[in-house]
Amino acid sequence: MKLTSKGRYAVMALVDLARFNNINPVSLRDISLRQGISLDYLEQIFSKLRKKEIVQSVRGTQGGYVLNKKAKEIKLTNIFDAVDEKVKTVQCKKDSKKGCNGKTTKCVTHNLWDELENHINNFFKEKSLEDLVKDNQERRI
Amino acid sequence: MKLTSKGRYAVMALVDLARFNNINPVSLRDISLRQGISLDYLEQIFSKLRKKEIVQSVRGTQGGYVLNKKAKEIKLTNIFDAVDEKVKTVQCKKDSKKGCNGKTTKCVTHNLWDELENHINNFFKEKSLEDLVKDNQERRI
DNA sequence: AGATACTTGACTATTTTAGTCAGGTTTATA
DNA sequence: TATAAACCTGACTAAAATAGTCAAGTATCT
């Protein structure tokens, strides 16, 4: 059970963006250099973040990306959701007639995995980008 | 982020074992049939569980497996640990000189992933096999 | 005009997963 | 003591997911 790079990078990049998100847009190139993430990969990630309206792009020279909402309103859930980082604990197919389908037949551990999924998602729902930035600034003193 | 089959199967098999763990050992063949898990794969899993002293094997005809501890004392952590299902959120190498190594340099989100890992592991530490069996019996009435 | 920076989509090597397969060894019981 | 049930081990592999790279644009500020 592990977190993929895509999810991790998305959060790292957004924390970076939030920290430098004063007046000017932040270019992916800068984020790439500071966070050590490939520029091409960042572009893929930000394309998704833009579609989900988490960031806005500013084109042209001196362009880059800006947060589209307040850091407080951007939760980890939103970020992971945008880049398709999903928490999957159950494999049971909804339409399977034999075995566990989550309705008529439940495998012995079905409820457990549901609980686990909720447990993890709760964590993601609570944490906002602002929390992360603050946490980071405190540790930098 | 997802749970692998190995971890899921291990828990399913142990719940099954715990339920039928009265006097006689339970054969993998029976578990395989009841839970729909390949026998060969189960053998791999139980080999690991035995090494970590979570189950005991009984050889010969009428043989099979028995729990090696009380169901209450077997936590999900123990099970996942035995089958190498680990929760990995951080990728930062301990010995890397450049970038995040978890000590001298911390990436902006290092603490976050640590927190997440703890959050998930807490869930695993609390849940015991007994909890799962009970939960299952209640829902069967 | 031209540099900068975003945008898109296709492609691919590597790794992980989820098993299968083959060939054992052990031991209860008839 | 033969034999069948059941455990035990390790090597192998197909398929899927991951983590990117690469190429070829398009938009816009100066």
**Going from the N-terminus, what domains does chain A have, and what CATH number goes with each?**
5-140 (1.10.10.10)
**Chain D bases closer than 7 angstroms to a protein Cβ:** 4-11, 17-23, 27-30
Strand C close residues, chain A 52-71, CB < 7 angstroms: 57-65
C-alpha B79/C-alpha B82 separation (Å) is 5
Residue matched to tokens 């800006």: A66
State the nearest residue by CA to the C1' of C9.
A44
Q: CB–CB of A127 and B111 under 8 A?
A: no
C-alpha B21/C-alpha B23 separation (Å) is 6
Q: Is residue B56 within 8 angstroms of chain A, CB to CB?
A: no
Higher per-residue confidence, A41 vs A137: A41
Q: CB–CB of A107 and B132 under 8 A?
A: no
Confidence band (pLDDT; 50, 70, 90) for B57? very high
Mean pLDDT of B3-20: 93
C-alpha A26/C-alpha A18 separation (Å) is 9
Q: Tell me the CA distances in angstroms from A82 to A96, B36, B110, one per residue in order.
A: 29, 35, 21
Give chain B's mean pLDDT: 87
CB atoms within 10 A of CB B33: 11
Q: Is residue A27 within 8 angstroms of chain B, CB to CB?
A: no
Mean pLDDT of A86-101: 70
Distance of residue A11 Cα from the nearest chain B Cα, in angstroms: 8
Please enumerate in sequence order all residues whose Cβ is within 8 A of that of B83, keeping only pairs 6 or more positions apart, or say none. Answer: B6, B7, B10, B45, B48, B49
